[in-house]
A and B are shown apart, each in its own frame.
Chain A
């Protein structure tokens, strides 16, 4: 009798390591770094470059650096690296500028409150979005301004010339970013408009501001404007810079948003109209949500550029982060050969933290909003 029983294996084949020639670190190296002769040459050159570049940088930033607790004599010593002790000693100046020392709690409250309001706003699942938005965009700026400048509720008056450091950098970039969004969107819509007057005005505005470098705008705002105005009328210098930066940023943002508007198929506009929606409802519910989603990378790009551009206000004598670093580098008590360089490394690092955070957040947001457009 023949049996039809098929052979059934009742145990797994024991696992074995991959053949030596197909895996392991050596194969990985061969596949990724030495696949071809030209790859090999590039790898070797790359390693040589790293060996040449990394140790001095490491030695400067960590190896031979003078950390907090060190003295200025350590920083002046032959071959000393970055003088972090100096950054530590002048840290308050880089954060608050000339803000009176006994009033530091005021900017601190503004920092903490700002962070506490903006974080839930950035997390999509957090509740109370509407209240949160109202608090952050309307209540917080007013509250923050009065808390910082004082002169009311028994707070001592602190003129804006005394604001400085990271505080001013954040104020300028936040105001610039927040105010330029609605302004930029309105300008973009206006430029697409069928109404000739609105369209012409928007085109003129955008082209005027885009045609001027930010430095020129700031110079005009800080030097020329006072000459035009009657003696005695004094518009705050920081406010002038804020207005300049905001208008400049909104012109750029308008063009980015216009790109998104043009990317939408005509059918979307027509579909909205055929449902009987008014212009504003159509724009708000159908057009903008799609258009903005398309241009998130461009918008964030603009914001990062704006954040870094705020350092230009130093040329009109506003003490932003970069300018405080520059001013402190003439501090004779910490005079050392690496003083200026250390300051610049610190400023670069601070800027990097904020810009990197913005760029990661936008990447994440893009993926979250990516509903069926991935190609």
Chain B
């Protein structure tokens, strides 16, 4: 009843303060019976149409996980492909409920735009690709090597900073367009190709013999990519944040979509709490008791989603690296569910 009153008050004040009136997103989403998810126009492994013309990818799986938690049905998501210019406006205007579109978490975005970042689905960063035959093992060996780079990007600035900081000789071959950069590297006009590591991997899969090229272990910039929601709706923010944490927690506890039903009988109290066997952690955020069970059952844990979309067994073939759980030396870490 109180919620209805709040909604009513919010609706009444719409005419006066349209921007301040944020009705509860959870109620809106439940009323329309689907989640509107903003995605890219096609970035392989993150959000792109698959062979059956269905959206798939690591960031798509996040939206599906939220839908699983809210509706017990991962399919209740509709996708809005957005360009990078319109993504934040679409979120602010309420056209989408979650923006999950390879968006780098930066301070100015988090504080200026009236949006809140949920967490980091993928720790990306700038890397270097070289030909295997050149026998380069580290970015520190790149002094004087010809580097193919896209002009006017942060990529160029990051590389210049890195080379200066390590007193290496910086020798670039600059192009305006990403496709030209790749072509030049392929044709042997330069020894090194640099851009974000995930893009390096995707481009490598297009080469005639992908195995002839390696991505060096050094990552020289921070590009944490994560989902975003509108600022000012704490309930929706917390639902999204804990969906993200549940994905990580499930992997840490070894709960997968395959064994989640067996795990219901587990003696481990942490698993019992995660799956809603013990305690009710869904109610405070407006979800059911088995919200995390549904996520794991329908979408899987973070490791499964990673493996399915961008992991070593896919054509993109990204290693876990920074995206491994903290227990495996990575950065993915979830506060305990208790």
Contact = CB atoms under 8 A, between A and B. Distances in A.
B22 A315 contact: no
A328 interface: yes
Dominant secondary structure of chain A at its interface with chain B = helix
A159 B49 contact: no
B295 interface: no
Contact of A223 (B43, B90, B316): B90
Interface string B9-27: 0000011001001110000
Nearest to B38: A317
B86 interface: yes
Interface in A201-223: 219, 222-223
A332 B205 contact: yes
Interface string A65-84: 00000000000111000000
Interface residues of A, number: 45
B208 to A, nearest CB: 5
Nearest to A164: B53
A230 B18 contact: yes
Contact of A93 (B21, B49, B78): B49
B95 A226 contact: yes
Contacts of B186: 337
Given A329-B42, A333-B51, A333-B315, A159 B78 contact: yes
Interface string B185-217: 010000000000000001001111000000000
A317 B51 contact: no
B82 interface: yes
A92 B53 contact: yes
A317 B52 CA distance: 20
Contacts of B315: 332-333, 335
Contacts of B221: none
Contacts of B314: 332
B53 A332 contact: no
Nearest to A317: B81
Contacts of A226: 89-90, 93-95
A316 B314 CA distance: 30
A107 interface: no
Contacts of B22: 231
B94 A232 contact: yes
B50 to A, nearest CB: 8
Given A78-B208, A231-B94, A315 B202 contact: no
A330 interface: yes
Contacts of A317: 41, 80-83, 86
Contacts of A232: 14, 23, 28, 94
Nearest to B179: A340
Given A231-B18, A232-B28, A332-B316, A327 B81 contact: yes
A223 B79 contact: no
B83 A328 contact: no
A335 B14 CA distance: 49
B67 interface: no
Interface size class of B (residues with CB under 8 A): 35 or more
A319 interface: yes
Interface hub of A222, A229, A231 (most chain B Cβ within 10 A): A231
A326 interface: yes
Interface in B40-64: 41-45, 48-55
Interface string A306-332: 000000001111010001001111111
B92 interface: yes
A234 interface: yes
A330 B57 CA distance: 12
A234 B314 CA distance: 38
A353 to B, nearest CB: 23
A328 to B, nearest CB: 7
A81 to B, nearest CB: 14
Contacts of A336: 206
Nearest to B202: A332
B90 A230 contact: no
B44 A332 contact: yes
* Chain A CB within 10 A, most for which of B45, B51, B54, B179: B51
Interface string A333-375: 1011101100000000000000000000000000000000000
Contacts of A270: none
Contacts of A22: none
Given A327-B41, A328-B49, A231 B21 contact: yes
B115 to A, nearest CB: 14
Contacts of B85: 223
A99 B314 CA distance: 26
B8 to A, nearest CB: 13
A99 to B, nearest CB: 8
Interface string A159-185: 101000000000000000000000000
Interface in B86-102: 86, 89-90, 92-95
5 contacts: A98-B79, A101-B52, A223-B93, A326-B41, A335-B44
Given A98-B53, A328-B42, A337-B186, 13 more contacts: A93-B53, A96-B53, A98-B55, A161-B80, A226-B89, A227-B89, A230-B15, A230-B21, A231-B94, A237-B95, A317-B81, A332-B316, A335-B202
Interface of B: 14-15, 18, 21-23, 28, 41-45, 48-55, 78-83, 85-86, 89-90, 92-95, 179, 186, 202, 205-208, 314-316
